[in-house]
Each structure stands twice: as structure tokens, then as C-alpha cells.
Amino acid sequence: MKMNKPGRPKVSDGGKYNRHDDRMSQNNGTRKKDKAPKAGAEPRKPGFFRKFVFFLIFLTGTAIFFLVTILGGLIYFNGAPTAAPRSLPDNSLRVEGDSVLYLEVRKGESAWSVGRRLEEAGIIRNRYFWQLVSRLGREYIKSGVYRLDIPLGQLEIYRILVEGAQMLSRVTFPEGATLKKYARILEEAGICGQAEFLAAASDPAVRAEYHVPGETMEGYLYPDTYFFPLNYPAAMAVRTMAGTFFGRLEEIDPDALELSAAELERRVIVASIVEREYRVDEEAPLMAGVFYNRLETGMALQSCATVEYVITEIQGRPHPEVLYTKDTEIRDPYNTYLTPGLPPGPISAPGRVALDAAFHPAESDYLYFRLVDPQAGRHYFARTLDDHIRAGVLYVKGRG
């Protein structure tokens, strides 16, 4: 029988395990206490990933805000103003009917200068935005005359001026010109051919549209400065000038468009003759009065201008420097030396002065007039043939 050593109590195996369990329990307790937050300690901050997500959301929101702001500003400044546009006094920018813009870009003119004029006329909202567009575009605008259908955005206007699109040619028709002269001017400018224009001016459909009783639109195409695109349809050019004629005529006499076609034709013919006869504005109404007086008394008009029309437009000869007796004896309906009354149609395109004279002639009993001062363009008006002849004799003596 084995004896225990004195002084040491017997410990069973179970005791060892109990002590081990106590240590394990103590260790476990210690670990549990480590996981629990200590009193007074700060809470843990969010991790890096959460901060990064918040930063991305902030950046995205900021970018969207600025994008919407920039886009809104772009739409606003690019858009046309709400107020009605207006023409400029120098006629370099002209608005017709609030919907058609004629813009002249002068040779060597800067984009800034064009933008300033566009802003002054109420075509664009802001010249500085225009300057920004032109700088970013880095392309030069092309000089010329443009016809634009407005309203248009700044970007679209800039694109048209850079590309030279819708560029127009300036053509000027002088007062007293004939249809053949109009045709030559248009062909030289590259607008349309002479034959095409003359055919359009004789088209019955076009004449019926404006109630013109004659064979052509001679006399009904207003002499003025126009802007046409190159290779423009001749019929459109005729309609444009005819529309201008009737518009100006209504300004001269609001009742003119209420006249019958025959009476209107009568006055336009007189205006076309006056246009080729007068040289001083104040004498035009007196000349118209002389022609009306002659028509009322049954006298031949005896206008040299009608003889010149026969020579140049009907016979196709050069314009004569001097008319001789043989010229006044040419047998033609347009020769008012031989044919009493008015010629068959107008002989030229009358301007505003001649039209106003034909519609508002001076009341007088004059039946004659003759040129007595070629340099000043002055005429002498007479009531009788004897007085008329004496004025001619005095004029010849004065020259001698």
C-alpha cells in the first residue's frame, strides 16, 4: 500500500481538471471583458470605404449641379431675345416683318463687331457669349450679305456666317431701267440668266398674280437695291421686285391699289415716261401735269423718251446721243410723236419721284416743256406753241 507524502494533500485527477477549468473560465471571462467597450471610451469612426462613398456622392452631386447650371446658361444665352428685333440706322442690319434678317458682314470685320450689332438689333441676348462662341470655334466669319430666317440661336447664326451659307449678292437696279437692263444686271451678278428672267417677267401666271394687263412686268418691278442668293429662281426675283413695287405704291397713294387695272396701268405708263424725262425732282409733277393735259385735249405726247425706247429696246440699237427728225418718224406704237395717246405699256421702271408725280400731278395749263439748262437739268414750261418755240430760240442764242 502506497503512502502519501506528508504535508501534501491528496489531489485527485478531477481536481486537476477543475483547476484547469477555473483557469479557462478566468481566461474566457477576461476575453469577454476585453471585447466590451470601456466606460468613457469614444465610439469607433466609420471606415475608409464609407468615407470614400460619401466623397463620391458629393463629387457627383456637385458635378451634376454645375452641369445643369452650365447647360441652362448655354440654353438661355444661345436663345433669341423675346423682344421684337429692329433694324440699325446704317442699314447694315435690316429686319423685315420681324422674321427675315438681312445682315451685312463687312470685309475685315471682326466677330466682336458683328456680335455687337446683333445685340444692338435684338437678334442675340449677349455679345460676350457670342465672343466666347467665336473664340471656341476658332473660325473666321465670311464677309458678305446674308438672309436669315429669325429667330435663330447664336450657335446657328455663327455656323451660317462661318460656312458662308445663305450668302446673298447685292444688286442695284437704277431708276428708269428697262426689263432688258434688269436681266443683264442679274446675269452679271450670277443670280439668274437673262433669258430666264425675261421669260419669268412675261409669264401670264405672274402677270395675273399682280393684275398687270400688259404683255410683260415692265414698269412694275421697283428699282431698288436687293439681296438675292446666287442661282436664284428668276420667277422669285420677279415676285420680290413686284411685291416691293406695290408696297412702295401703297405708301405713295393708299388708294392706288383700289384702282382698276386699266387706270393703274395708265398712271404707271405716265410715271415711266416722266422717269425718263425729268432731271430735277420738283419738275416731275409739272411734267406729269403736261402729259395729262395733252391726253385730255387729244394731243400727241411727243415724248423723246418713247422714241429712245423704240430705238434701244425694240430695234436693239445703241442709245442715240441726239434725236433727229427721221427718228421721230419711226413707225411704232411706242413712238408718241406719231401715235396719239399713251404707248402700249410702260417704257421704264419708275422710281418714287416719278410715281408720286404720276399719282399727284401739278395742276396747270401747261402743254409744253423743253430743256433750257442741260447742266442743271432745268426745263421751261409753256402754255402755247409760240411760247414754246420762243424759249427754244432763246436757249439756242444763249448757247451761242
Is the residue at 73 inside a domain? no
- Assessment of whether the complete model's pTM goes beyond 0.75: no
Asked, for residue 75, whether it belongs to a domain, the answer is no
Q: What is the mean pLDDT of the chain?
A: 84
Q: What is the residue range of 232's domain? A: 169-252
- Do residues 106 and 217 both lie within one domain? no
Residue 337 in grid coordinates = 410723236
Q: Give the model's pLDDT for residue 73.
A: 63
Question: Do 359 and 313 fall within a single domain?
Answer: yes
pLDDT digit string, tens, across residues 72-107: 666 777 777 877 888 888 778 888 877 888 888 888
- Point out which residues pair with 144 in neighbouring strands: 105
Lowest mean pLDDT, pick from 132-146, 319-333, 335-349: 132-146
The Cα 269–Cα 288 span in angstroms is 11
pLDDT digits (tens, 9 = 90+) for 226-264: 988 888 899 999 999 999 999 999 999 999 989 999 999
Cell numbers at residue 174, please?
437704277
Neighbours of 210 (CB within 10 A): 15
Closest CA to 349 of 200, 201, 218, 199: 218
Is there a single domain that holds both residue 312 and residue 371? yes
Of 153, 157, 128, whose CA–CA distance to 142 is shortest? Answer: 157
Residue 15 has pLDDT above 70, yes or no: no
The percent of the chain in helix, strand and coil, each rounded to the nearest 5, is 50, 10, 40
**Quick one: 136 and 188 in the same domain?**
no
User: Would 123 be classed as within a structural domain?
Assistant: yes
Domain boundary among the residues 135, 165, 195 is at 165
Look at residue 87 and tell me if it is in a domain: no
Does residue 378 surpass a pLDDT of 60?
A: yes
Instruction: Give the domain-ending residue among 165, 180, 200.
Output: 165
Kindly calculate the radius of gyration of the chain based on its CA atoms and give it in whole angstroms.
46
Total number of domains in the chain: 3
Q: What are the E-state strand segments in the chain? A: 93-96, 100-105, 144-149, 167-172, 225-229, 368-373, 378-382
